Structure formats: C-alpha cells, structure tokens
Amino acid sequence: MKKNITIDLISDTVTKPTKQMLEAMISAKVGDDVFKMDPTVNELQEKAAKMFGMEDALFFPSGTMANQTAIKLHTQPGDKLICDKYAHVYNYEGGGAAFNSGVTCKLIDGNRGMFTAKQLEEAVAGRNDIHVPFSSLVCIENTTNKGGGACWSFSELEKLQKISKKNNLSFHLDGARLFNALVAKNENPKQNGALFDTISICLSKGLGAPVGSILLGSKVHIAKALRIRKLFGGAMRQVGFLAAAGIYALDNHVERLAEDHQKAQEIGTVLKSVPYVTKVETIETNIIIFYVDEKIGADNFINKMKEKNILLTPMGEGRIRIVTHLDYTNEMHEVLLKELKNF
C-alpha cells in the first residue's frame, strides 16, 4: 500500500461509486422525473416500496429532505414532534423542523439515542391540554447516529407503535442506516414497513451510492410528499442516473454491511486492549465511539492520527468516532489496527 494513502473513517458517506455502480449509472434509461417519466426512478421507487411492503416510495436528493418532508406531511405549525435528545432531525438538520414545519421538538432523555415505551407515554401525557403544544408525530432513528450505531429492539418499537396509534400520533422512522440495523439483527424490511407510517432510508451511507434517499409510505402520504418535495426544491429531472446507483446499491451492497460490522468489532477489540483508551461504547454496527486518556486529549489524538493520514471525527465531550464503510479495505484495516496498537 502506498504510504500516502488516506484512510478516511469520518463517515460512511465518504465512499465513491464502484466501477460496476458507475457502469449501471451510465447505462441507465432516463426521462424527466418531474413528469414521472424517468423509468429508472420509477423502478427504484417501486423496488423500494415492494421491499418494505409499503404502498409507495419517493426518491429524494438527501436524507435531510426526506425527513423534513415527512415532518411536514405529518404536522401542522405549532405542533410538537417527539424524539430522542440525540435525534438527527433535531440536532443536525439545521433547525429544519422549526423552519420548514413550524414545530417544536419534545426531547426524550433516552439511552444511546433510544427511549422506552414508558418514556413515550410520559411525553404524550396531557395531549389534550390546550396550554401545551399538540403532539402529532413520533420520530425514531435506527440505527442511532449520535448514539453510536445502536439498534432498537423490535419489541420496544412495537410498543411505541401501539402508543402512537392509541394517541393518534404519526410514527416516522429515520432509517438513514436502517440496513445496518437489519443486517446486524437479522431482521427484514417488511417488519419495519408494517410498523411505521413513513420511513426514510439513505442510499448514500453504508450502501455506497453517491447521492440519494427514499421516503416510503402510503399512497396518500407519498402523494403529499410529492407536493412538498416540489415546494422544497427537490423535484429533479433526468435523475435516473442517480436512481440507477440506488438500484445497484440495494441489489449488491446490503449484505456486505456485515463486513463493515465485523471490522468495527475488530477495531473495538484493539481499542479495548490499549492503555490510552479509557472507554469504548458498545459496538453494534459500523460506528465506534471511544474516549482517550485526558492526558492525551481527543483533539490531540485526532491530529496525531491525521498526521498518519487516518481521519477520525470528534463528537464532542471527549468522544471520538470511527465509521467503517465500503471503501475501507482490508489493507487499510491492517494499517489502522497496527497504528492503534502502536500509538
């Protein structure tokens, strides 16, 4: 391996399309998708809807826009969205929930981005009191990003769904890394399709497409989403070139996520064995969060690794994040493990 090659572990969004994916892209049949005349986009949407056993699906340029569209279609201005304090929709979408939909977020103090049915019940209590914002939507994230790739227990999700239904709340899943959860827990998309009103999935994270997310839901919800996507500026034209990357990713890059998870476990084992690491959070999928000795310091550690062309992310409060992905090769893995052991 060349000495100056960069090992980029900042996120699973850093991947570039493989040769085969690029070939699928350049040979795609395209048309004007605003007139629903792009056959490849239609194929991707039908494929995804079928995969999840949901009625319909819509292709989006980003996960943020797919989530923001879901929030918009489930709420009215002044309403309340209930989510974990770590939620991407609250922390990382630029205040979009407030800006686009005029909703406030009720944050639940969960564990690694996940909360319990009991906590949800407490958060919904007093829904009919006119003093408090009207609860209309519950958003959960699987896997949790800020929670270090943690996966929900399916039985807890079933309980949350029951509570949401009983209280007339819509139930949205931010599934940017849902396939990581499904692979790690050996679950299938249809189980999730049956539980949620809407689901967003990212094609550009672990699945390795350059762009794209999908929102899944009922025909009624997706018809509304189509209007909102236009309003948000997300209606695209000959976008089948990108949809082709998504189709290729769904066909070829789901099962291999297990390799990313395996590498994450091996990195975790090394981190737990070295004296300068004070804590490694539970690793369930492709995200590793750990802490180094205060005498070294997170920023300093990240800078030292950067000098070796190994890129990691600070996550605040002394936390350091590593994310494994499609472009993180076995060769890079050997180099990383060696550098971590020798630090």
Ligand X SMILES: *Cc1c(COP(=O)(O)O)cnc(C)c1O
Q: Which residues bind ligand X (CB under 6 A)?
A: 62-64, 67, 88, 141, 145, 174, 176, 202, 213
Q: 40 vs 68, which CB is nearer to ligand X?
A: 68
Answer whether 271's CB lies under 8 Å from 290's CB.
yes
What is the closest distance, in whole angstroms, from the C-beta atom of residue 211 to ligand X in the complex? Answer: 9
Residue for token digits 């539970």? 282
Q: 141 vs 197, which CB is nearer to ligand X?
A: 141
CA distance 219 to 234: 19
* Alpha-carbon distances, residue 126 vs 108, 117, 121, 146, 260 (angstroms): 16, 16, 10, 29, 44
Answer whether 76's CB lies under 8 Å from 137's CB.
no
What is the closest distance, in whole angstroms, from the C-beta atom of residue 181 to ligand X in the complex? Answer: 11
Q: 71 vs 340, which CB is nearer to ligand X?
A: 71
Q: 202 vs 222, which CB is nearer to ligand X?
A: 202
What is the closest distance, in whole angstroms, from the C-beta atom of residue 11 to ligand X in the complex? Answer: 8
What length does the chain have? 343
What is the closest distance, in whole angstroms, from the C-beta atom of residue 88 to ligand X in the complex? Answer: 4
What is the closest distance, in whole angstroms, from the C-beta atom of residue 220 to ligand X in the complex? Answer: 24
**For ligand X, which residue has the nearest CB?**
63
Backbone angles phi, psi at 104, to 5 degrees: -100, 155
Q: 38 vs 141, which CB is nearer to ligand X?
A: 141
What is the closest distance, in whole angstroms, from the C-beta atom of residue 297 to ligand X in the complex? Answer: 26
Q: 140 vs 340, which CB is nearer to ligand X?
A: 140
Which CB contacts under 8 angstroms, 24+ apart, belong to 269-274? 270/337, 270/340, 270/341, 271/340, 273/341, 274/340, 274/341, 274/343
